[in-house]
Amino acid sequence: MGTSYTVRRGDTLSRIAQRHGYDSWEEIYNHDDNRAFRERRPDPNRIRAGDTLILPDRAEASCPPPAPADFKRLYFHHLIRSQA
């Protein structure tokens, strides 16, 4: 289990990761403990002040991130929209 972190105004996942010593924002966003956060915020570029994240223990953070469940749907949606 990691440490709870409340997003502040102006935060980005990249800044949070850098400030707390992670190699990538994906280590935080894709961690199992942040499943509810990912469901609430499927676009990692759109987090809000007041959101709560779990900053995983450093040993847990080195696990490879899971592939997004909706990757194909999102990719094809983007592909179709960009061709319209």
- Domains of the chain with bracketed CATH: 3-83 (3.10.350.10)
Give me the pLDDT at residue 1, please.
Answer: 73
28 burial type by CB count under 10 A (0-12 exposed, 13-18 middle, 19+ buried) = buried
In this predicted model, what pLDDT tens digit does every residue of 26-61 receive, in sequence order? Answer: 999 999 999 999 999 999 999 999 999 999 987 665
- Whole-number pLDDT of residue 64: 52
Query: What does residue 3 show for φ and ψ, rounded to 5 degrees?
Result: -110, 135
pLDDT of residue 78: 47
Measuring CA to CA, which residue among 83, 82, 84, 20 is closest to residue 54?
20
Q: Which of 73, 28, 68 is nearest to 51 (CA)?
A: 28
